[in-house]
Amino acid sequence: MIQPALDLVIAALEKIRETTDRGPCASRNTLEQLQSGPSLAASLREAHVSRTGRQLHQTTSNKAQILASVRERVRGCTKCAHLASSRTQTVFGVGNPDAEIMFIGEAPGADEDQQGEPFVGRAGQLLTRIIKAMGFAREDVYIANILKCRPDMPAGSFGNRAPTPAEMQMCRPYLLEQIDIIQPKVLVALGAVAVEGLLGARGTMRELRGRWHLYNGTPLMITYHPAYLLRNQSPSEKRKVWEDMLQVLERLEKPISEKQRNYFL
Ligand code: URA
């Protein structure tokens, strides 16, 4: 009775989500919760029915549960057949389901593909240092990528390639679900490719970074990708990233020590 109707609604919402930049008003997770019958009452009890206008506020345990269900869907995703067949595993995201800050990178590299966790290679180690210098542990924040699969490379070649616009468009709905569930206070996009994946438009870092943008109502800070800082060791570029992070701390109304103010990455 109600099930076929819900299936139709979900299919229609997925289509909207995949083909337009503006997401539908209910997240798929909320619908999944509604679909799950016996757990419906429990979910609604756990969910604060205070509305942001777009979705329900979820409790931390509820968020973890819903994230886990999205992770499962991502694990079985074959929307990009070439990536599904080349990946070792999907790389969903890591961190606190209730994080205030969500860092968004572009795509897993070779290390992340092996370990199943974003930002664990050299660029990831630098990101972890930045997070610590901000006064957080890696577990306090949430880290995800636009793409959940490593972009495939020709056989025998080394290194990583940037995701294509088509791959990012295909995968973006998963990231939007992650953002909808976590509802971070601040998003930090790392590098121009992440910005393109998120906003669907390319811009230069010079014009984009260092100032606040809004992403579906959530403040978005754009800064350089840590891999850029590894390639370009100039203190002035590193300082720019740190200044962007100071703006994030200010926005979150975190105390900033003198040492942090003077910090150079
Ligand atoms: N670069 C990214 O953008 N993401 C990762 O997970 C690792 C490196």
Average pLDDT over the chain reads 86
Cα–Cα dist 196/181, whole Å: 22
The pLDDT of 104-127, averaged and rounded, is 98
How is 51-91 classified by DSSP, letter by letter? E-SSSEEPPHHHHHHHHHHHHHHHHT--SSHHHHHH-SS--
109 lines ligand 1 (CB under 6 A): yes
Q: Which residue's CA lies nearest to atom 8 of ligand 1?
A: 119
What is the distance between the alpha carbons of residues 104 and 191, in angstroms, rounded to a whole number?
Answer: 9
Instruction: Give me the pLDDT at residue 44, please.
Output: 33
Lowest mean pLDDT among 34-48, 172-186, 202-216: 34-48
pTM: 0.81
Report the C-alpha gap between 201 and 191 in whole angstroms.
Answer: 13
Per-residue pLDDT at 68 exceeds 70: yes
Tell which atom from ligand 1 comes closest to the C-alpha of 193: 3
Burial of 210 by CB count in 10 Å (0-12 exposed, 13-18 middle, 19+ buried)?
middle
Read off the pLDDT of each residue in 210-226 and give the average, rounded to a whole number: 97
> Does residue 160's CB lie within 6 angstroms of at least one atom of ligand 1?
no
Q: Which DSSP string corresponds to 216-236?
A: TTEEEEEE--HHHHHH---HH
Write out the DSSP string of 135-150.
Answer: T--GGGSEEEES-SSP
pLDDT, residue 59, reads 86
The ligand 1 atom at the shortest distance from the C-alpha of residue 225 is: 3
pLDDT in tens, 223-237: 999 999 999 999 999
Write the pLDDT tens digit of every residue in 153-180.
988 888 899 999 999 999 999 999 999 9
The confidence band for 17, taking pLDDT boundaries of 50, 70 and 90, is: low
Report the nearest atom of ligand 1 relative to the CA of 145: 4
Whether 145 lines ligand 1, by a CB cut-off of 6 Å, is yes
| Domains in the chain: ranges and CATH | 91-261 (3.40.470.10)
Pairing of strands 48-51, 56-57: antiparallel
Q: Degrees (nearest 5) of the Cα angle 22, 28, 34?
A: 140
How would residue 49 be classed by pLDDT, with cut points 50, 70 and 90? Answer: very low
Residue nearest (by alpha carbon) to ligand 1 atom 7: 119
Q: Determine the average pLDDT of the residues in 31-53.
A: 41
